[in-house]
Structure 1
Amino acid sequence: MELVRQASDLPRPEAPVPAPSAEAVRLYGDLRFEAQRCAYYHGMRARFFDSFGKTISLVSFVAGAGAFSSLIQGVGPLVSVLAIVTAFFSGLNLIIGFARKGRDHEVLRSKYYGILVEIEKARDDLPKLREIQVRLLGSYADGTIFLSALDMMATNRTAVSLGHRDYLTYVPWNHRALAHVWSFTGYYVNGKRPAMGAPVQDPAQAAGASSPPPVD
């Protein structure tokens, strides 16, 4: 009787956890890449608008102060030039709204990072991954126009962060310099990206790789 009781007290082996389906693996890789790419893209846009907006405000302030000083000193032509500069940059900031655009992109960046967290939680759950896929596709309907060169820079950065350095697409220096103001539409139509569900390197291996190309 004691032997029977001892045998019943032994821990039972746990049932094996079923492996995720091939479709779940593929969809997880697809969604993870897309969400991270969008987060990087909007992060770069947010930093650009924030920096440019602060620069515009500084130029307007300096030009306005110079115009006021020149007016007091009676330097007529200089007053006109500085007044025009002040009016131009102030009007540019008013029309475009650099600070507002920076905040908008920061909100989008946070949203995509939130989606990325949900993707990680639903890694092996195909129905939940499909729900997230619908939401991710719906998020593209906000009217955001992706600039091609900047989008490819975000794609490269995502590929590096996920350990897919073999899928980098070269972005010329002049495209990187103008990435925030010119789209270069059609130039990156055939840009490379990892196959859906491609294996991801261990983070330690990815960190040991050579430094990523300049993407910011």
Structure 2
Amino acid sequence: MDEETGAAAPDTPAEPAASGHARKPAGGEAAKAVEALRFDLLRCALYHDMRQRRLLGIHRALLFLTVLLGSGAVAAFGAMLPIVGQLAGAAVAAVSAAQLVWDFAVRARDHEDLRRRFYNLLSDLEKGAEVTAITAEMGQLFADEPPMVDATNRKAHDRAGQALFGDDFVRADGSHGGHGGPRSR
């Protein structure tokens, strides 16, 4: 339960009935469960979209630096000033090693795949698929996720809340709505 409002927390699963099966939410509870699931799916999709764009940007910048620093113009300039050639060679090695070790392009593709899969689940939810089935598939996707970047997750939370609820949501920083908070846009 949310201590401030007394409402059930959106991540709270349905309580098991005496028979051992999860009870189906009734009426308003079902709508709240769908709304909470819709929010989580959109937040996850937006998170992976932001991570993909960030990692692709890093990959492209490092690729640009590798090509630029390894170019003939830098080599010719390095012939006149040997220290420049040595620094350029060291920079190419460092940038190439960073690309090889952290593999930003592959990580971006992983986030692209996860984004697509979360949007597919959101589409299935909108088509009327069972909340329990979507929740189960979402749990499987969580197992495939890399470690979460908290700042990006907070941004995704705020963007999903703004998209679905307008000014009527609690931002990741605890403020309400789309204006007035320290991170309002």
- The interval holding the TM-score normalised by the smaller chain is 0.7 to 0.9
- Aligned-pair CA distance for 1:67: 4.2
Residues 159, 193 of structure 1: 8 Å contact kept: no
Amino acid at match of 2:91: V
Between the two proteins, the alignment pairs up a number of residues equal to: 155
Residues 67, 80 of structure 1: 8 Å contact kept: no
**Distance in 2 separating the partners of 1:162 and 1:85:** 46
2:53 is matched with 47
**Distance in 1 separating the partners of 2:94 and 2:102:** 12
**Distance in 2 separating the partners of 1:192 and 1:43:** 24
Q: TM-score normalised to the size of structure 1?
A: 0.65
Amino acid at match of 1:156: D
The answer on 1:26 being equivalent to 2:28 is no
Larger CA Rg, structure 1 vs 2: 1
Residues 155, 193 of structure 1: 8 Å contact kept: no
Structure 1's consecutive aligned runs of 4 or more residues displaced over 3 angstroms after TM superposition are 191-194
**Distance in 2 separating the partners of 1:40 and 1:163:** 15
SS at match of 2:165: coil
**Distance in 1 separating the partners of 2:86 and 2:42:** 48
Q: Which of 133, 155, 162 is 2:135 aligned to?
A: 133
Q: TM-score normalised to the size of structure 2?
A: 0.75
- Aligned-pair CA distance for 1:156: 0.2
2:172 is matched with 169
SS at match of 1:167: coil
Change (3 A) 1:138 1:162: same
Residues 47, 152 of structure 2: 8 Å contact kept: yes
- Aligned-pair CA distance for 1:22: 2.5
Q: Which runs of 5+ in 1 are unaligned?
A: 1-19, 171-190, 195-208
Indicate the percent of aligned positions where both proteins have the same amino acid: 24
**Distance in 1 separating the partners of 2:123 and 2:80:** 62
**Distance in 2 separating the partners of 1:147 and 1:96:** 15
1:122-145 alpha-carbon deviations (Å, 9 max, x no partner): 1xx6xx111111111221111421
- Aligned-pair CA distance for 1:193: 8.9
Amino acid at match of 2:75: F
- Aligned-pair CA distance for 1:167: 1.3
Amino acid at match of 1:93: Q
**Distance in 2 separating the partners of 1:61 and 1:144:** 29
* Mapping of residues 1-216 of structure 1, within 5 Å: 21-65=27-71, 66-71=73-78, 73-122=79-128, 128-165=130-167, 166-170=169-173, 191=174, 213-214=184-185
**Distance in 2 separating the partners of 1:192 and 1:139:** 29
